[in-house]
Amino acid sequence: MKTQTKSKKLNKAWLNNHVSDPYVQQAQKDGYRSRAAYKLKEIDEELKLIRPGQVVVDLGATPGAWSQYLRRRFAPKEAGQGGAAVGQLNGTIIALDLLDFEPIEGVHFIQGDFQDAAVYAQLEAALASRPVDVVVSDMAPNLSGIASTDAARISNLVELAVDFSRQHLKPDGALVAKVFHGEGYSQLVELFKANFRKVKAVKPKASRDRSAETFLVGVGKKP
């Protein structure tokens, strides 16, 4: 019973913090599906990665906040923030996730496991041989709580994103990938440095302080 009471208190505390979170409140006002939109927004505003007319692949896309942000960046300026949700789109967004994805106009969604060869083939087919300007990856595995196991799972997903980027990015293209500080982090930084000319680690203000997540950004493929 004590354990259940403690669990209820923790859940209530999390819910209170979530509801009062300024980024959660702002996401509701701006029509984003989650506060994660502001993480990509901060990274983009700092590094100027997203521009109209680009081809962007959004890995680990559900619930869709990053695709929403991309869509707004690709909407005509005269449409304004509100008009960005519908209508004309100057750019290509291909989103992929294991989970269901509520449709977003103009976003091509593929449901499946990025590690599955058949799903990977669907993604390549959707690209139709077009080179990619930016890959954004918010992929994260189901965590077991065992540090070494979780580090291996995280690293595997990041390595897959890097490999995909090596094959499909334009020479000056960019990869944004979520990683976590802890076991295996330094190796992932080295992986980025081995594959990109410019590498930067970004901890957006929209990431919760207590979260170990950060984002590695690689720009310009090394030969």
**49 or 8, which is more confident:** 49
Q: pTM score, two decimals?
A: 0.87
CB–CB of 185/152 below 8 Å? no
Q: What is the pLDDT of residue 19?
A: 55
Between β-strands 169-180 and 132-137, what pairing exists: parallel, antiparallel or unpaired?
A: parallel
Q: For 48-62, 86-100, 120-134, which range has the lowest pLDDT when averaged over its residues?
A: 86-100
Name residue, tokens 């989650």.
34
148 phi and psi angles, rounded to 5 deg = -65, -40
Q: Given a cut of 60, is residue 128 above it in pLDDT? A: yes
Q: What is the pLDDT of residue 150?
A: 80
All residues at 6 or more sequence positions from 131 whose CB lies less than 8 Å from its CB, including other chains? 55, 168, 169, 170, 173
Q: What is the pLDDT of residue 13?
A: 43
Reported as a single tens digit per residue, the pLDDT across 5-19 is 544 544 544 344 555
Please compute the mean of the pLDDT values over residues 147-160 and round it to a whole number: 89
Choose, from 39, 41, 178, 221, the residue flagged as catalytic.
178
- Token duo for residue 79: 């449409």
- Residue 63: CA atoms inside 13 Å, Cβ hemisphere, count? 8
The residue type at 76: P
Please compute the mean of the pLDDT values over residues 202-214 and round it to a whole number: 89
Reported as a single tens digit per residue, the pLDDT across 77-117 is 644 444 345 567 899 999 999 999 999 999 999 999 999 99
Q: Given a cut of 90, is residue 196 above it in pLDDT? A: yes
Assign a CATH topology to domain 34-221.
Rossmann fold (3.40.50)
The mean predicted confidence, pLDDT, of the chain is: 88
Q: Is 178 a catalytic residue?
A: yes
Q: What gap in Å lies between CA 111 and CA 123, rounded to an integer?
A: 10
